Amino acid sequence: MTLTRELVRLIRSKPVTDADLERAAGFVVDTLGSALAAKDTVPARAIATLSSWSTPDAGRRAFYFGGLAHILELDDLHRTSVTHPGTVVVPAAAALAETLQASGREFLVAVLHGYEACCRVGNAVGKAHYRVWHNTATCGTFGAAMAAAHLAGLDEDRAVWALGNAGAQSGGVWEFLSAGAMSKHLHTARAAEAGVIAALLAREGFTGADTILEGEKGFFAAFCKDPVPEAVLADPDAPWALLETSIKPWPCCRHTHPAIDAALALNARLDGATPDEIRVETYRAALDVCDRPEPADPFGAKFSLQHCAAEAIRTGAITTSSFDGDHRDATRGLCAVTTVSVDPAIEAAYPGAWGASVKARVGDQWFEERCEACKGDPENPLDRTELTAKAVELFGLAGFDDSAARGMIDEIYALANRNAPVSTFSQVFSRI
């Protein structure tokens, strides 16, 4: 039996509880807030010239929602797969659920299925994959397709075809970082759209390779230097991958978050003193993506360990404005005395744990803080109150007052308790 077929069976055999559905609703809230807050950005306006939530085409709706959800770098993160599943799975599921008049509960089950497929494939790609490929783009197509397969009512064969055709559309490389380009948002947009298209075609009998993962010319052969195929099906009785996914409190690349948490702790200890030197020690992948000592724009600053650590030490806070020009100017001096390197112990623990050590020297005295579980990780999660506060702030950036924002959030959580079609809640999704 092929890996893809076994993956479909594994996912569809996992029990779903009411608590699982409520947690899934929380991740929908987080993804919707990330998308809404980005609506007035330059990349969002560009994406809106091609598609919107009002289009009748489910794939194009998923493209629009998926593109917006990744712009502000506030979306969720599954550590071991190094994916942002919400940016791909939630848009695909929401777009198709409304088209097919699915119930709110079935929509949330689809979200659970999608996270599981995305993260299990991501767990199997190996560390080298991430050096060139953006895991969310390459593995996210499988997640979007699995979510869409549930909503489209695909039998096992057609679900396998959907995953086969999702893998055939995978792509997304990191080269955009060298130019500070916007292509990263296209990664999530296309992955969400590809999953919807793959499932809808499979429903019509359009076949896909059932050996898409392990085949001689399949996904692992094409994309992975050190794949771990057995990880796709490992620990089948583990909690849903969604429950092991982190929610970001800081609006920047998740690789910077361990350093931010440590730096914020240092800020509290330094009592206003300005460090003469800062050292950030973390894992290799963080340096590969975020070693950027002189970020020239907000996007670069969000992918700069140097800026994020220095800004957190300087101000004691990381907000949506922390990456603007005046903050980059104010932090430039500290960035110049900030070095980044790999800590062998932290590297050995990655990707199971994403950690960092930040050291600051003031005169002859060194101060150090370490972070092994960031705020928002499963070990240190945002509770519903904290998640709602984050979402209200994001909805506010899109022009909604607190009352309207909380009303939309309550409607999303109510999906777990209602069998009414998702279209009943279209007033929520139509705000995108």
| CA-angle at 264, arms to 273 and 328, nearest 5° | 75
pLDDT, tens digit, for every residue of 236-281? Answer: 999 999 999 999 988 899 999 999 999 999 999 999 999 999 999 9
| Residue 145: CATH number of its domain | 1.10.4100.10
- What mean pLDDT do residues 418-428 have? 75
Domain count along the chain: 2
DSSP state of 278: E
Q: How far apart are CA 114 and CA 95, in angstroms?
A: 14
Instruction: Please check whether residues 294 and 335 belong to one and the same domain.
Output: yes
For residue 423, pLDDT over 80 is answered with no
Residue 314 burial (CB count, 10 A): 21
Q: How far apart are CA 284 and CA 348, in angstroms?
A: 10
Q: What is the pLDDT of the chain when averaged over all its residues?
A: 95
| Residue 286: CATH number of its domain | 3.30.1330.120
Last residue in a domain, options 371, 392, 417: 371
% of the chain with per-residue pLDDT over 90:
88
The confidence score (pLDDT) of residue 284 equals 95
The confidence score (pLDDT) of residue 172 equals 97
- What mean pLDDT do residues 192-198 have? 98
Q: How far apart are CA 380 and CA 248, in angstroms?
A: 11
Instruction: Please check whether residues 280 and 234 belong to one and the same domain.
Output: no
Instruction: Please check whether residues 59 and 177 belong to one and the same domain.
Output: yes
- What mean pLDDT do residues 283-288 have? 94
Last residue in a domain, options 371, 388, 414: 371
Q: How far apart are CA 208 and CA 199, in angstroms?
A: 10
What would you measure as the largest C-alpha separation in the chain, in angstroms?
71
The confidence score (pLDDT) of residue 428 equals 76
Residue 110 burial (CB count, 10 A): 28
Structural domain range at position 360: 254-371
For residue 222, pLDDT over 80 is answered with yes
Do the beta carbons of residue 229 and residue 3 sit within 8 Å?
yes
Do the beta carbons of residue 258 and residue 79 sit within 8 Å?
no
Last residue in a domain, options 326, 349, 371: 371
pLDDT, tens digit, for every residue of 58-91? Answer: 999 999 999 999 999 899 999 999 999 999 999 9
Do the beta carbons of residue 96 and residue 63 sit within 8 Å?
no
Tokens at 166, concatenated: 């999702």
Instruction: Please check whether residues 129 and 20 belong to one and the same domain.
Output: yes
pLDDT, tens digit, for every residue of 101-118? Answer: 999 999 999 999 999 999
For residue 292, pLDDT over 70 is answered with yes
The confidence score (pLDDT) of residue 234 equals 98
Instruction: Please check whether residues 52 and 156 belong to one and the same domain.
Output: yes
Q: Output the DSSP codes for 196-257.
A: HHHHHHHHTT----TTTTTSTTSHHHHH-SS--GGGGSS-TTSPPGGGG-B--SSSS-GGGH
The confidence score (pLDDT) of residue 84 equals 97
Do the beta carbons of residue 150 and residue 109 sit within 8 Å?
yes
Helices 135-151 and 104-123, interaxial angle, to 10°? 140
Edge-to-edge order in the sheet of strand 277-282: 338-342, 277-282, 356-362, 365-371
Instruction: Please check whether residues 21 and 153 belong to one and the same domain.
Output: yes
Tokens at 185, concatenated: 């948002």
Do the beta carbons of residue 58 and residue 37 sit within 8 Å?
no
For residue 220, pLDDT over 70 is answered with yes
Q: Which residues, 6 or more positions from 108, have their beta carbon under 8 angstroms from its beta carbon?
A: 21, 24, 25, 28, 415, 416
For residue 425, pLDDT over 70 is answered with no
For residue 419, pLDDT over 90 is answered with no
For residue 412, pLDDT over 70 is answered with yes
Instruction: Please check whether residues 84 and 113 belong to one and the same domain.
Output: yes
- What mean pLDDT do residues 6-19 have? 98
DSSP state of 116: H
Instruction: Please check whether residues 245 and 268 belong to one and the same domain.
Output: no
Q: What are phi and psi of 330, to 5 degrees?
A: -70, -25
Q: What pTM, to 2 d.p., does this model score?
A: 0.89
Instruction: Please check whether residues 210 and 355 belong to one and the same domain.
Output: no
Instruction: Please check whether residues 174 and 29 belong to one and the same domain.
Output: yes
Instruction: Please check whether residues 346 and 391 belong to one and the same domain.
Output: no
pLDDT, tens digit, for every residue of 294-349? Answer: 999 998 999 999 999 999 999 999 988 999 999 999 999 999 999 999 999 999 99
Burial pattern 335-368, b for ≥16 Cβ within 10 A else e, equals: bebbebeebeebbeebbebbbbbbbbeeeeeebe
Rounded CA Rg of the chain: 21
Burial pattern 390-418, b for ≥16 Cβ within 10 A else e, equals: bbbbbbbebebeeeebeebbebbbebbee
Instruction: Please check whether residues 80 and 16 belong to one and the same domain.
Output: yes
Helices 183-203 and 135-151, interaxial angle, to 10°? 30
Do the beta carbons of residue 277 and residue 361 sit within 8 Å?
yes
Q: How far apart are CA 101 and CA 421, in angstroms?
A: 5
